[in-house]
Structures are given as C-alpha cells and as structure tokens.
Amino acid sequence: MTFSNETISLFQQLADLTAPKCRECRAPMSCCSSEYCEMALILAKEAETPLEPTGHPRLKLMGPNGCVAPPHLRPLCTFHLCSINNNGYDKDAEFTKQYFELRKQAEYAWGVDYSWQEKLDEDAKSLVRGTPGKSE
Ligand code: SF4
Ligand code: SF4
C-alpha cells in the first residue's frame, strides 16, 4: 500500500495543529501506549516504509525528541488530543473547528488509501464461505 502525498500532508497538518496544545501539557506523551507503537510499526511495514525501533524501554517509537513515526503512520495518535478526547471539543472554538475540518479530510484520505483492506477482507470472507474468487 502507498499513502498519497495528500494524505501525508493532511496528517502532518493535523499534527502541526495539535502540537502547540501538547507543548502546554503537564504530562507530555503520557497519552502514549506501546500498542500504538506496534500498530505504527505494522503499518509502516505494510506501506514499505519500515521504521526502526528507537530502543526506548517501553515505547518502541519514542526517540529523544519525541515520536519518530510520521503522523500518517500513527493515525490514532495523530487524532488524539486530550481536550477533544475528554470533552469532545477544545476551549478554543476556532481551534476545535479547524481540528474537526482537518480530521474529517484526513480520515477520508486515509480511508481511500487504505481501501485495499476492504478487498482483502472480502477475499478472506469468500474463503471462509468456501467461494474463493467471488469478490474478484
Ligand atoms: S495528547 Fe494529551 S497527554 Fe498527550 S501530549 Fe497532548 S495534551 Fe499531553
Ligand atoms: S507511535 Fe509515537 S505517538 Fe504513538 S504511542 Fe508510540 S511513541 Fe507515542
């Protein structure tokens, strides 16, 4: 699978939009969890842009200056912002509007690039039903 430049750019824009909020965080990166690093490593491999674990004892993709995964390869991490997650909005109304507009575009673009997954799922279902090739 490959990610379009548009998808990569939208995710980068979303990461850039939320970064200043996270810079004010009292517990930066406390939102990180090892399974998200694992997901990013798998996705990076599928996209044939493998990532190297950093050697961090708990978070495989955490480097000395933050996460080393590009935003489109860690979509759930990119979408996550505590204010949005906890309340459904940020106290900055203009930010909230920008966030959801960009997120909608990023989700759509990511889904388009990832649509091969649906084909794969269909093939798998056909095999289970004993009718391989039906989805071709
Ligand atoms: S998402 Fe939340 S916990 Fe993570 S860095 Fe941002 S504000 Fe802090
Ligand atoms: S992929 Fe990066 S942002 Fe996501 S949990 Fe791992 S270190 Fe944190």
**CB 84 near ligand 1, within 6 Å:** no
In a domain, 135, yes or no: no
Q: Let me know if residue 136 belongs to a domain.
A: no
Report the percent of the chain where pLDDT is more than 90: 77
Structural domain contains residue 59:
yes
Instruction: Tell me the CA–centroid distance for residue 19 and ligand 1, in Å.
Output: 9
The reply to whether 20 falls in a domain is yes
At residue 99, the pLDDT reads 97
Q: What is the pLDDT at residue 133?
A: 47
Decide if 134 is inside a domain: no
Cβ neighbours of residue 70 closer than 8 Å, sequence gap 6 or more = 8, 11, 12
Residue 114 lies in a domain: yes
- Which structural domain, as residue segments, surrounds residue 17? 5-129
Q: Whose CA is nearest to atom 8 of ligand 2?
A: 32
* Distant-in-sequence, close-in-space partners of 38: CB < 8 Å, separation ≥ 6: 60
pLDDT at residue number 134: 45
Contact criterion met (CB below 8 Å) for 105 and 113:
no
**Contacts for 113 with CB less than 8 Å, ≥ 6 apart:** 1, 2, 3, 4, 7
pLDDT at residue 39 is higher than 60:
yes
pTM: 0.85
- Could you tell me if residue 82 is inside a domain? yes
Mean pLDDT of 113-127: 67
The pLDDT of residue 48 is above 80: yes
Domain count, the chain: 1
